[in-house]
Structure 1
Amino acid sequence: MMTIGEAAAASGVSAKMIRHYEAIGLIRPQRAANGYRAYAEADVAVLRFIRHARDLGFPLETVRRLLALWRDRNRSSAEVKRLALDHVAALEAKAASLRAMAASLRHLAEHCHGDERPDCPILDELEGLERVERA
């Protein structure tokens, strides 16, 4: 059995996040007689799974579903694939949105003189006063 600090070091998940994952029910460590959390290798495996899923940007509710599927040896890989592809679609939509934001800001920056004058189309756009003509 390990302490929370040892589990954090072994899994790459901070002690604060381990406590959070416990609070939301993703992990359920045993409690020692003194009330301290006690982590087994299986708990560390769950923490690594969560970390890898979060590194891929899966939202916590999807991580919860993936954990349930991981634990279920009678699972259908079709559901896992669907969750992964749904996440890919969400990531691609977010990437498109970020590209559009970058293009808008680039356009505004191109129309800002960037000199000592106070006129600034970037600030005007943020304030909502005027729209820079889109080329």
Structure 2
Amino acid sequence: MKSSEAGTLLSIGDAAARFGLPTHVLRHWEAVGLVTPARDGAGRRRYGADDLTRVAVVVRAKRAGLGLDAIRVLLSAADPAERRAVLVGEAARLRTRIAAVQASLDLVECALDCEHDDFTRCPHYRTHVALGL
């Protein structure tokens, strides 16, 4: 089982390896309803092209910072308004995370730009820290 391009189904090990994932991740995603691979006569999971596309979507969405619950709705909701509502919420959550990371970067850069021997005693740095609280 090396390829699913010509209709060949991949084992869970081959599918996981294709995405650089441990097999337990695919099992978990199946348990929470994100993927539903076919089973062979012996009950082993078999991943086809559609399954691999779905795994790729989940991987990409996770990299974008989305949680599994949000991904499940995006993949399964029939109502476009429901999917849009999830995306609006995720966008707001990501903006909040970006702002927090930017504030952290600003603090680090303030410390790097400080000319004092001990930046923690620098009045400018202390003001920067206080403003961030």
Counterpart contact for 1:13–1:47, Cα < 8 Å: no
Deviation of 1:100 (Å): 0.9
Question: Structure 2: how far apart are the matches of 1:53 and 1:3?
Answer: 23
Deviation at 1:13, TM superposition (A): 5.5
TM-score norm. by structure 2 comes to 0.67
Would you say the 8 A contact 1:4–1:38 is kept in 2? yes
Indicate whether 1:97 and 2:100 are aligned: yes
1: CA distance, partners of 2:67 / 2:91: 12
Q: TM-score, normalised by structure 1?
A: 0.66
Q: Distance in 2 between matches of 1:28 and 1:78?
A: 25
- Between the aligned partners of 1:107 and 1:49, the Cα distance in structure 2 is 38
Paired letter, 1:134: T
- Match of 2:119? 121
1:8/1:18 contact within 8 Å kept: yes
CA distance in 1, matches of 2:41, 2:80: 40
CA contact (8 A) 1:108 1:132 kept: yes
- Structure 1 unaligned residues grouped into runs of 5+: 70-74, 115-119, 125-129
Within 1, Cα distance between the matches of 2:115 and 2:33? 50
| Aligned residue pair count | 118
Unaligned runs of 5+ in 2: 1-8, 129-133
2:66 aligned partner, one-letter code: F
Identity level (%) = 25
Root-mean-square deviation (Å) = 2.9
Structure 1 position 86, deviation (Å): 1.5
